[in-house]
Amino acid sequence: MTMLLFREVAEAFEKIEATSGRLDMTGLLAGIFAKCTPAEVEQLILLAQGVVAPPFAGIEIGMGERFVIRAIASSTGYDEKNVNAAYKEKGDLGLVAQELLGKKKQSSLVKTELTLKKVFGAFSRIAGTSGTGSQELKIKLLAELLNSATESEGKYLVRMPIGKLRLGVGEPTIIDALSVCRSGTKELREPLERAFSLCSDLGYIGRLFFESPEKIDKFKITLFKPVRPALAERLGSAAEIIEKIGPCGADAKYDGLRLQVHKKGKKVEIFSRKLERIANMFPEIVGATQALKQGELIFEGEALAHDIHNDRYLSFQQTMQRKRKHGVAEMAGSRPLRLFVFDLLYADGKDIGALPFAERREFVEKIFGKPGGQCVGKKEVSTLTATLFKKFDTARELEGFFNKCIASGLEGIIAKELGAAYQPGKRKFAWIKLKRSYGEMADSIDAVVVGYYLGKGSRAEFEFGGLLCAVYNEQTDTLQTIARVGSGFSEDEMGSLREMLDAISIQEKPKGLECKLDADVWVAPKLVVTLVADEITISPMHTCCKEGGRGFALRFPRMAAIREDKGIKEITTSQEIESMFNLQKRTKI
């Protein structure tokens, strides 16, 4: 098989960008996958997501727009002033590169036809370049690609390093395309999805699948490749939980940072719920994990910062201050973390996650000890300790435990089916959360910001007036609007939100967003916020679970928190919103 030309990739990307139908996108991706070797399919999957490595690797192509502009100027013969003027007009550096490459003022003496392998290698080198002179080298490497690029190729070569590829291709669509490429249908989606959930590396899974589908069927948990976290469904009362899953166990639900810890010998890695490597930020957890006698472990817990001077646990927002790169040692001394362990997935070569939860819990208590009777212990609690957990036969007992947790200042409980295996990346009734209510809503929701509005009146000075937020529809692989949020912001937050959102602003509505409203400024869907509201209502203006011209919306929504620990993969789904609406005992649409 000959090497795949990047020209063919760019042609496929152009067709994908021009379509909004998921089935059409799937077919186009399957068509280009069919031309790939196993190594090329891995590279293509990563580049289609605008990366050269999975998120947990911590490797980013990243180049600032100013440096990309210099590369365009260098390769086309136009000066930076001309490039900037074209960018101001078009609002898309990819389109600028496409136009200027079509009317170059100069031709390169060395010009070769680009292959996918060459492009991927160049971007990998750009991502790995650091230190003195690194920016000049990155500009040179990108300019060299552009020297040999066609107009269409140039558009995508420029969009990749600034993180604005604009394909609108999500992981479910890529998984479907892999299946369609090999079988002609989506019948292989489930094993592919399962394998991906066990390692969070879709490029790697694509390569293994092309080498041999049997490797996917036999795929196992791998140390230092994070497992996608299991997610909980919602119910409105202890009685509904017992009715749904029968006698169960329940953990106290802590409002902290969810962490996944991997250990092999003295090597320890910690992954955030966004699958970032963050072990360097939490030395006390690393040290406590190294001291465990088990050689290999993967476990999950909720981390809370402890104010040792006042002997109290801090709020989520205060705990989030520990997730930073500077002042780590000082923060570890004054605000050490306590990790409340709630599940174990792997131990000394054995896949513990496949066992029933009741057995996994026994392993947790054997390794981390049984917790005391309090929901949250104080100074006597070690760095690693099991969550408070009990088993319940009746709704009355479960409700009593829930009330105790709420009285202790916690969020609520997570009820767990005792016989269920761990469900990576899935939202199942194996886990059910019961939280304190927010007005008539059964829970807060996590939404992604897709646009913002400019300030008026008293907010004019901040140039920020509110957010347009969306949730994720799993069935259509699209984002759907749920709320226009105009309250819950402090003056400091209005300023910081404007800064964060301007950094990810885009010219047009995000690809894959179903929306009837306009925003003053559209943004790439990256920033997650927690919202509370009085209730969920039916609205003609929003598209969440749209049917007959109406969808669901939040009534009097307020922003409760900026969730830098969460990514777009963890936002609330449209299907969850419908369930929450039904929990309000209202009539369905």
Catalytic residues: 253
**CA 261 – CA 268 distance, rounded (Å):** 7
**Mutual orientation of helices 22-33 and 171-183 as an angle, nearest 10°?**
60
DSSP 95: H
In whole angstroms, give the CA distance from residue 583 to residue 441. 8
Pick from 227, 231, 230, 177: nearest CA to 197: 227
**Closest CA relative to residue 329, chosen from 286, 292, 299:** 286
Residue showing tokens 């140390």:
223
User: Is 271:339 a contact under the CB 8 Å cutoff?
Assistant: no
Assign 3-class secondary structure to 127-176: HHCCCCCHHHHHHHHHHHHHHCCCHHHHHHHHHCCCCCCCCCCCHHHHHH
Residue 278 contacts residue 426 (beta carbons within 8 Å): no
**Cα separation, 405 vs 102, whole angstroms:** 65
Between CA 233 and CA 426 the distance in angstroms is 10
Neighbours of 212 (CB within 10 A): 11
H/E stretch holding 252 reads strand 248-253
Residue 287 CB contacts under 8 Å (≥ 6 apart), including other chains: 383
Q: Which position has the token pair 């069919």?
A: 34
Helix count and strand count (H, E) for the chain: 21, 23
E-strand stretches of 275-360: 296-307, 312-313, 337-347, 350-351
The Cα 543–Cα 556 span in angstroms is 17
CA triple 147-46-74, angle to 5 deg: 20
Q: What are phi and psi of 275, to 5 degrees?
A: 70, 25
Q: CA-to-CA distance for 489 and 479, rounded, in angstroms?
A: 24
Cα–Cα dist 87/90, whole Å: 5
List, as one string, the DSSP characters of 364-418.
HHHHH----SSSS--TT--SEEEPPEEEESSHHHHHHHHHHHHHTT--EEEEEET
